[in-house]
Copies of this chain bind each other. A is one copy, B any other.
Amino acid sequence: MLTIGKLGAEAGVKVPTVRYYEQIGLLPKAERSAGNQRLYGRKALERLAFIRHARDLGFTLEAIRDLLSLSDRPDQSCAAADAIAKAQLAEVESRLARLMSLKAELERMVVQCAGGRIADCRVIEVLGDHSLCATDHRHPEGEHIA
């Protein structure tokens, strides 16, 4: 049995994060030692590693919650799981497109600045006027910015 610290170290997750996952019901309530400390077995480690990996791939905790409950029903069709992964792929692709556009605009700004006074700074000028941009990089409503 692992203490929370060992568990976190094995899975690459910080201790408060493990407790947080338990709090929001992503991990089941852990067994406790005589002294009230959490104890984990191999199954909990696998579950936490799954969560960590899915987070690393950008899935939200909500999506991970669904994926975990699917993975608890091995005999069902995996269509729902695949749909979640495809949605995540689409999300990543859309962020990618936007970030490429941002990169282009930022590069233009930085390159065009001759490095003089603020009054002549291309960075400041472009930030004040989107019509100076080459692409329409604007934030589609409802999309997360990061």
Contact = CB atoms under 8 A, between A and B. Distances in A.
A38 B53 CA distance: 48
Interface in A107-141: 107, 109-110, 113, 115-121, 123-124, 127-130, 137-139
Contacts of A120: 78
Given A53-B127, A96-B96, A119 B85 contact: no
A interface, over-half SS: helix
Nearest first, the 4 closest Cβ-Cβ pairs linking A and B are A146-B146, A78-B121, A74-B119, A89-B106
B116 A55 contact: no
A110 B128 CA distance: 42
Contacts of A145: 55, 58, 146
Interface of A: 12, 46, 49-50, 53-58, 67, 70-71, 73-79, 81-82, 84-86, 88-89, 92-93, 95-96, 99-100, 102-103, 105-107, 109-110, 113, 115-121, 123-124, 127-130, 137-139, 144-146
Given A50-B128, A81-B123, A95-B146, 18 more contacts: A53-B127, A58-B99, A58-B145, A67-B124, A70-B118, A71-B118, A71-B128, A74-B119, A76-B118, A78-B118, A78-B120, A78-B121, A81-B124, A89-B110, A92-B103, A93-B103, A96-B99, A96-B100
